[in-house]
């Protein structure tokens, strides 16, 4: 088994096929979308492949050290220019192929008009812990 991170972007990924901003969907479409994600997670728990998942607020800031005795610098009002992560899910699956298959399913969450949004998801393998035998 290996763990993979499925990353959902607000921005930074290529545009989805069904690219209508969520605030312009009908409330039922929003509910259907949310329910799809929830069902997906429940189903993976049932197959023993779910590890964790969270949604993130869009207001992220870049922060860095700015020297001794000074407060950290944040990136100010330029948030619209950067990649933003909307949320993530961690899965624990038997193969990379299975990870891609599941990411494909998650990308089919319904959007405007009840049609799949076809959004791009990023799939990143976790670096494993050290196995017992490495030498």
Partner 1 sequence: MDEALIRSLTPSVLAILVRRGADFAAAEDAVQDALVEAVRGWPSDPPRDPKGWLVTVAWRRFLDATRADAARRRREDLLDEEPAPGSAPSVDDTLQLYFLCAHPSLTPSSAVALTLRAVGGLTTRQIAQAYLVPEATMAQRISRAKRTVSGVRFDQPGDVATVLRVLYLVFNEGYSGDVDLAAEAIRLTRQLAAAIDHPEVAGLLALMLLHHARRAARTAPDGSLVPLAEQDRGLWDTESIAEGVEILQAALARDRLGEFQAQAAIAALHADAPTAEETDWVQIVEWYDELARLTESPIVRLNRAVAVGEADGPRAGLAELAALDASLPRHTAVAAYLHERDGDLTTAARLYAEAARKAPNIAERDHLTRQAARLNSRG
Chain residues binding partner 1 by CB under 8 A are 1, 3, 44-52, 92, 94, 127-135
Query: SS in 3 state form for 27-95?
Result: HHHHHHHHHHHHHHHHHHHHCCCEEEEEECCCCCCCEECCCCCCCCEECCCCHHHCCEEEEEEEEEECC
Q: What tokens were used for 113?
A: 């008009």
For partner 1, the closer of residues 66 and 94 by Cβ is 94
CA–CA dist 87, 79 (Å, integer): 17
Tell the smallest beta-carbon distance from residue 130 to partner 1 (Å): 4
Return the closest-CA partner of residue 8 out of 101, 124, 113.
124
For partner 1, the closer of residues 24 and 132 by Cβ is 132
Tell the smallest beta-carbon distance from residue 73 to partner 1 (Å): 28
For partner 1, the closer of residues 51 and 100 by Cβ is 51
Tell the smallest beta-carbon distance from residue 46 to partner 1 (Å): 5
Say what angle helices 96-107 and 27-46 make with each other, to 10 degrees.
Answer: 160
For partner 1, the closer of residues 84 and 123 by Cβ is 123
Tell the smallest beta-carbon distance from residue 98 to partner 1 (Å): 10
């Amino acid at each position: 088994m290996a763990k993979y991170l499925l990353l959902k972007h607000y921005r930074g990924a290529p545009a989805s096929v069904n690219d209508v901003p969520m605030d312009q969907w009908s409330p039922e479409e929003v509910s259907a979308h949310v329910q799809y994600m929830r069902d997906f997670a429940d189903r993976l728990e049932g197959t023993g492949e779910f590890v964790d998942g969270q949604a993130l607020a869009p207001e992220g800031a870049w922060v860095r050290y700015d020297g001794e005795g000074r407060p950290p610098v944040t990136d100010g009002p330029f948030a619209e220019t950067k990649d933003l992560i909307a949320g993530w899910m961690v899965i624990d699956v038997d193969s990379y192929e299975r990870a891609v298959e599941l990411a494909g399913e998650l990308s089919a969450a319904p959007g405007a008009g009840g049609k799949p949004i076809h959004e791009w998801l990023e799939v990143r393998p976790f670096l494993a812990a050290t196995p017992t035998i490495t030498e």
